[in-house]
Amino acid sequence: MEIGEALKITRKKLNLSQSEMAGDILTKSYYSKIERGIHEINARDLIDILNLHGIRIQDFFEEFNFEKNTFGKSNFDNLHRLVGNAYYQKDTDGLLKVIDAIDKFPNSQNNRLARGLRVEAKLLYQGLKYGPEKIDDETIREVKQLMFNSDNWDELSLTLLSVSLSFFKNDELSAIIKAIVTRNKPDKLTSRNREIVSSILINYLAYSYNRKITKGAALSLTFSWLSELDSSPKNCLTKIYANYFQMLLSGNKEKANQIRQFLNDNGMEDLTRYLAR
């Protein structure tokens, strides 16, 4: 169930209008679009609305996911979406609110999913607040511990790797990338894990370009893996990014600039702003 739909059900149970549910936190118009699934709600606003009406976020998720007094996969999925939204919107307060919400689950200290999401939110918070170079050693150690505390590259391990590439030396990261692409063929992955691996590989291409690494087995395997993605709409942007970095790494900046301009011409300036040049 989407968060907007869950909010609508909760509002009706409380016998509130949309204006009363949104309070002073959101306009009625914007809140209405969240209930209808047109807009997503960010972490800070969701938690503030729930607090306004005396609803704990863990109770809110548990009611709609039937996971009583525990942190489970559906809690992870919902809160992870909030973490992603908060990071994209540079909302450090939202990230702190998600961390606080995770801590309130009774089993969060001993639950790998809860600990993984918490340290991801913490890492992103520190990166936004102080800069990537100021992320503390304890957070980096916890990320690596959780990432490698599994025999397989599961969703959590892949997610943590996607936000921590810059912490690794090139030889370490090259070995990790080779392991991932050889063990996880695109057609064998769930759609979610395929999306995460695609993100990791695009970030690895940016990592390589920024460090002037233009050759190597890991790079060749990366481009080969990305070329195996089908040409469905959900993979289009990934394939464009792969082509962009292939042009950069081969020294064809003129072609790379054409790709960047194409994205800008189609209203994607927010995405190209963070692309390596």
Q: Which pLDDT tens digit goes with each residue over 151-182?
A: 678 888 999 999 899 888 999 999 999 999 99
Q: Are 237 and 202 in contact (CB under 8 A)?
A: no
What pLDDT is recorded for position 17?
Answer: 94
Q: Are 148 and 180 in contact (CB under 8 A)?
A: no
Q: Are 58 and 74 in contact (CB under 8 A)?
A: no
Q: Are 151 and 117 in contact (CB under 8 A)?
A: no
Among the listed residues 267, 275, 211, 210, the one whose alpha carbon sits nearest the alpha carbon of residue 243: 275
120: left (phi over 0), alpha (psi -120 to 50) or beta: alpha
Model confidence at 186: pLDDT above 60: yes
Q: Looking at residues 143-154, what average pLDDT do you find? A: 82
Distance from C-alpha of 154 to C-alpha of 201, rounded to nearest angstrom = 16
Q: Looking at residues 3-13, what average pLDDT do you find? A: 89
Q: Angle at which helices 191-210 and 217-227 pack, to 10 degrees?
A: 140
Distance from C-alpha of 47 to C-alpha of 91, rounded to nearest angstrom = 13
Q: Which pLDDT tens digit goes with each residue over 9-62?
A: 999 989 999 999 999 999 999 999 999 988 888 888 898 999 899 988 877 877
Q: Which pLDDT tens digit goes with each residue over 200-245?
A: 999 999 999 999 999 999 999 999 999 999 988 889 999 999 999 9
Chain CA centroid to CA 198, Å: 12
Rounded (5°) CA angle 58-61-63: 105
What pLDDT is recorded for position 66?
Answer: 45
Chain CA centroid to CA 110, Å: 22
Alpha helices (H) in 53-150, listed in sequence order: 57-65, 73-88, 92-103, 112-130, 137-148
Chain CA centroid to CA 132, Å: 16
Distance from C-alpha of 226 to C-alpha of 229, rounded to nearest angstrom = 6
Residues for the chain: how many in total? 277
What pLDDT is recorded for position 110?
Answer: 85
Q: Kindly tell me the burial class for residue 223, based on how many C-beta atoms sit within 10 Å of its own C-beta (0-12, 13-18, 19 or more).
A: middle
What is the sign of the dihedral through the CA atoms of 212, 215, 217 and 218? positive
